[in-house]
Structure 1
Amino acid sequence: MSGTEGIKTVLHPVADLEKAKAVYTALLGAEPTADSEYYVGYDVEGQHIGLVPGSSEAGPVSYWHVADIEAKLAEVTAAGGTVKEAPKKVGGTRQVATFTDPDGNVLGLLQD
């Protein structure tokens, strides 16, 4: 059984990236560390908060950082979770995946 490094990344689906960026910049008191037309991200107090336009998620998704995304995904599915989105590269060597718990809550895994 492999552990996690905790929740360090939370991604929020947004309809209007520019409007959301203004609100999150005011809330967090910091300028974005990543700012593009397809993603805006903030690094504040050891957490990464991201804004994702056009996402199909109904609400924020918390991403648990793990050393081995494939092993952790196998572990949670063996325990009753269901893969929603298989691991995929999202930049460099970073990979993300999502799964649902038995109640349908969406949870994320992230491996750097």
Structure 2
Amino acid sequence: MTDSSTQGIKTVLHPVSDLDAAKAVYTALLGAEPTADSPYYVGFDAAGQHIGLVPGGGAEGATSPVTYWHVPDIEAKLSEVTAAGGKVKEPAHDVGGGRLVATFTDPDGNVLGLLQDS
């Protein structure tokens, strides 16, 4: 049997309209410089969480923050949440380095993310 329990919310991605302005605010809030800084993504590691800034909401066009639950088996967890009534928004896909992400909606349309590190 596959372990499909969660490891908690460890990643939150925020869509931003002005990456440089948002980077300044989050740097002040978190008291740390970004650990990833590019024109398409800025990320911070703070207190065991990863906070990401995505201009324009990224490929999925997010309009509000998306929390990513870390799981050991993303496909198993997607199966569980869809069997329970969730709907896949963005299927699991590799975003680099073997990291898989997916998003789904709950019955009220809230977008939730799953993340599996290799």
* TM bin (shorter chain): over 0.9
Q: How many residues align?
A: 112
Q: Which residue of 2 aligns with 1:91?
A: 96
Percent of aligned positions that are identical: 78
3-state DSSP of counterpart to 2:44? strand
1:46-87 per-position Cα deviation (integer Å, ceiling 9, x unaligned): 000000012111210000000010110011000000000001
Match of 2:110 among 79, 88, 105: 105
Residue matched to 2:73 = 68
Task: Give the deviation of 1:2 after TM superposition.
Answer: 2.0
Q: Aligned runs of 1:45-84 on 2, under 5 Å?
A: 45-55=47-57, 56-84=61-89
5+ residue gaps, structure 1:
none
Query: Which amino acid in structure 2 is aligned with residue 20 of structure 1?
Result: A
TM-score by length of 1: 0.97
Question: Is contact 2:4–2:74 with CA below 8 Å preserved after alignment?
Answer: no
TM-score (norm 2): 0.93
Note the aligned Cα RMSD (angstroms). 0.8
